[in-house]
Amino acid sequence: MTLHHLRIFISVAESGKMSAAAHAHHLSQPTVSQIIRELEEYYSVKLFERLSKKLHITEEGKRLLGYAKEVVNAYENLEYNMSPAVRRDTLRIGSSVTVGMCVMPGLVRNFSAARPDTDIYSYVNNTQTIEEMLLRSELDVAVVEGKIRNPDIVCSHLMDDYVTLFCATEHRLAVKKYISLDELCRESFVVREHGSGTREIFENFITEQKRKLRIKWEVACFDSTLRAVREEGCIGVASVRLLIPHLDAGNIRAICCAGGEWDRTFSLVHHKNKYMTETMTAFIEAAHTIKDAPPPDRTKMGRLIA
């Protein structure tokens, strides 16, 4: 098994076609097929299945793809960084949407100022997508608010947070100190897309209470959530940290869970087999030194009584 084998395998997996991989690497299609067979024999697994004349990667193939990208990227980083003409480090940082709005900008800005010779790429998406990119070695390190499920991802606590509901100050629930689950579930909701940690924690709570939500809007960002709350009279779901400026301005009313079931943490995450460069280590240390204010006090919010 060589790097050449892994590069060909990655090309086939990403394109879904032997012919495309052959063209990209200036090889014949039978040669590419032989390389895939050699990999399958070497690891005693089936990497692809052909169904309805289409190539489909197997679960074992997906597993190898993550490792293959890690190995090839590590080798390419080695070649690049050991070149006498290169003196810059690179760091690929991921963050889930909430973290990307309220934590990551300041963290990246301070880290860039402290290490101006490091090229930083920052990517924001929901927790599920960030987890998948870490497993494929497309990111080096990330900060997320959602739950990480894959045991190959190492998680460490970064800061505390909690999810709240919120409505416009003109909404009928805005004046109530205590709100029952029955009256809440009669309202229309705006929620984040599937894969969002914020959505998951609230939906899990509703499912445990054996209730259903009336979802009117499904959106991918906080700005759209806020607009649906203000203009459509929906109930929104968000991290309390995103709501701070709007609470201070008196534009919205927050509703917290009386039992604290929506408490969560922001976590710093990376693949357990990731080679820890000095730059990665420095970023992780910098992240853990964040002096962040605690989330807002809940005593001034409406209370949901389940």
Position 84 scores a pLDDT of: 62
Please state whether beta strands 252-257 and 302-305 pair in parallel, antiparallel, or not at all (unpaired): parallel
DSSP assignment string, 78-144: HHHHTSTT---EEEEEEE-HHHHHHTHHHHHHHHHHH-TTEEEEEEE--HHHHHHHHHTTS-SEEEE
The C-alpha atoms of residue 86 and residue 248 are separated, in whole angstroms, by 48
Position 102 scores a pLDDT of: 87
Position 88 scores a pLDDT of: 66
- Would residue 300 be called left, alpha or beta, if left means φ above 0 and alpha means ψ between -120 and 50 degrees? alpha
The C-alpha atoms of residue 228 and residue 232 are separated, in whole angstroms, by 5
The C-alpha atoms of residue 190 and residue 208 are separated, in whole angstroms, by 20
Each residue's pLDDT, cut to its tens digit, for the chain (306 residues) gives 899 999 999 999 999 999 999 998 999 999 999 999 999 999 999 999 988 778 999 999 999 999 999 999 888 888 776 776 555 688 999 999 999 998 899 999 999 999 998 999 999 999 999 999 999 999 999 999 988 999 999 999 999 899 999 999 999 999 999 999 999 999 999 999 999 999 999 999 999 999 999 999 999 899 999 999 999 999 999 999 999 999 989 989 999 987 788 999 999 999 998 888 899 999 999 999 887 777 788 888 988 886
